[in-house]
Amino acid sequence: QAKAGAPGTRENSEAPSTLLGILQIRAHDQPGDKWLVIERRVYDISRWAQRHPGGSRLIGHHGAEDATDAFRAFHQDLNFVRKFLQPLLIGELAPEEPSQDGPLNAQLVEDFRALHQAAEDMKLFDASPTFFAFLLGHILAMEVLAWLLIYLLGPGWVPSALAAFILAISQAQSWCLQHDLGHASIFKKSRWNHVAQKFVMGQLKGFSAHWWNFRHFQHHAKPNIFHKDPDVTVAPVFLLGESSVEYGKKKRRYLPYNQQHLYFFLIGPPLLTLVNFEVENLAYMLVCMQWADLLWAASFYARFFLSYLPFYGVPGVLLFFVAVRVLESHWFVWITQMNHIPKEIGHEKHRDWASSQLAATCNVEPSLFTNWFSGHLNFQIEHHLFPRMPRHNYSRVAPLVKSLCAKHGLSYEVKPFLTALVDIVRSLKKSGDIWLDAYLHQ
């Protein structure tokens, strides 16, 4: 095999005939030294990763891997993105080389790509403007309704509790709408999605769109993978999946993990949004100097406090804000984790795109209420396989995904709504018991 020249140079980009083996590529998965494969072409992203719009961590998680399906899943205009890749081209896989040396089902990869193309041909990536206009409209209507309740009925306990509940629902639905925009699943132009996401995430929620995308895209790239998916990298507070055995064997006991299914109710659902997200979001904006996002977030707090300060005063409006955030946080934890925590959680397995997404996700039985209440995240399998697909089309692609899973013997798990919620607690208890057993006997 010919040797690759200096990585990432223009001369190499014009000589894609350089043939590389997968073992050569595997050696380049270190900080500051990253290669990856897209459509059998090999790119050196070592220096360019810091300029990647999705962040260096996101693209770095695919170091030394075939990132073809991730590349197609995350980007709207592939031809446009390929222009940025061209200067990074250093060669291509030799014809006899597989796309990667990990566990790869070539037929599954081929069938999934055919399914993706079928979904495109069926126009399942085209959004309904009416659907999303209604979503925004009903969010704004709830914001106005909550204020009118206090304005007309006064700041008593009953109107305040009802207003907080309505605002929490509005905040939950805003999470869903900004999530759609972050995945560029509403507008055909990425820029329009980004601008609209800043408005929803900043003005309607008080958070940074860049912060959310930074952590959420990593979750999609490597779901339920330790140190790559921020959603499951929660040790030493909670132990999930393979970390239970590891902590037990190493005799680590920072908390009573065999009781984590109980203290979860105290520090999980009540505090995630109010404490963890607020601190993490602010730190991200300051450290990464996202001043525009900071102004958007400030506009939310200015609107909220100016709207309710005349009714409650400073202590009262702070308490009202905390109540909304705590209610919203319960929704966030239960709805977003019912599809993931009960599934396989562990270290990198270097699977193909479809296998890795299916191993980490499950669905919840659909209904008009569940679809709306969860923002269609009850179709988590379809969402993870096709993150750019507008959510109102998940039910249309679901039968095709089921057929793919049946053909390849893959699990397509669908649970009742309440069962999915209970399974979060069951999974935490199971992990805690595994930790205790390993701690005492190994």
Instruction: Of 3-7, 226-230, 236-240, 327-331, give the lowest mean pLDDT range.
Output: 3-7
Say whether both 390 and 289 belong to one domain.
yes
Say whether both 59 and 124 belong to one domain.
no
- How many distinct structural domains can be found in the chain? 2
Q: CATH number of the domain at 29, please.
A: 3.10.120.10
Whether residue 58 has pLDDT greater than 80: yes
pLDDT range class, residue 22, cuts 50, 70, 90: confident
pLDDT range class, residue 99, cuts 50, 70, 90: low
- Are 85 and 39 in contact, with CB atoms under 8 Å apart? no
Say whether both 314 and 207 belong to one domain.
yes
Say whether both 75 and 110 belong to one domain.
no
Say whether both 201 and 61 belong to one domain.
no
Q: Identify the residue whose tokens are 């009118």.
A: 148
Cα distance between residue 378 and residue 385, in whole Å = 14
Say whether both 231 and 347 belong to one domain.
yes
Cα distance between residue 386 and residue 330, in whole Å = 27
Range of the domain at 64: 19-99
- Residue 279 in any domain: the answer is yes
Whether residue 1 has pLDDT greater than 80: no
Whether residue 365 has pLDDT greater than 60: yes
Tokens of 195: 């601008």
Whether residue 332 has pLDDT greater than 50: yes
Residues 6+ apart with CB under 8 A from 6: 12
Of residues 183, 218, 213, 223, the one with CA closest to residue 354? 223
Say whether both 166 and 222 belong to one domain.
yes
Say whether both 237 and 316 belong to one domain.
yes
pTM for the model: 0.91
pLDDT range class, residue 4, cuts 50, 70, 90: very low
Q: Identify the residue whose tokens are 């605002």.
A: 167
Say whether both 69 and 109 belong to one domain.
no
Query: 49, 67, 99 — which closes off a domain?
Result: 99
- The tens digit of pLDDT for each residue in 172-212 reads 999 999 999 999 999 999 999 999 999 999 999 999 999 99
Percent of the chain residues past pLDDT 90, beyond the cut: 81
Percent of the chain residues past pLDDT 70, beyond the cut: 95
| pLDDT confidence of residue 5 | 39
| pLDDT confidence of residue 6 | 39
Whether residue 10 has pLDDT greater than 70: no
Say whether both 42 and 129 belong to one domain.
no
Per DSSP, the residues of 371-400 read: HHHTTTGGGHHHHHH-TTS-GGGHHHHHHH
